[in-house]
Amino acid sequence: MADITRKTKRYPSDLTDEEWERIAPLMPPLNRRGRKRATDFREIINALRYLVRSGCGWEMLPVHFGPWQTVYWWFRRLERFLF
């Protein structure tokens, strides 16, 4: 399914491939220790863009983006850099 979602945009707020190529180097690197990320970081950014554009609450986030708690955790981590 991940390959299919890369070829199509599910929501108008999803990043295009060109946009992702520009911001991917700015994302936090993988931790050398510990487990791998279960949620793709591009989906985290897509979820944050969806939240801003739609104005929905965290619990109303579509399941395609992964657990809302994960998206919220990354939002709290990234807000230091964004704001």
Confidence of residue 4 (pLDDT cuts 50, 70, 90): very low
Averaged pLDDT, 28-57: 86
Confidence of residue 1 (pLDDT cuts 50, 70, 90): very low
Averaged pLDDT, 28-37: 79
Domain residue extents for the chain: 2-23+38-82
Sequential DSSP letters for 40-79 = -HHHHHHHHHHHHHH---GGGS-GGG--HHHHHHHHHHHH
Q: Does residue 39 contact residue 73 with C-beta atoms inside 8 Å?
A: no
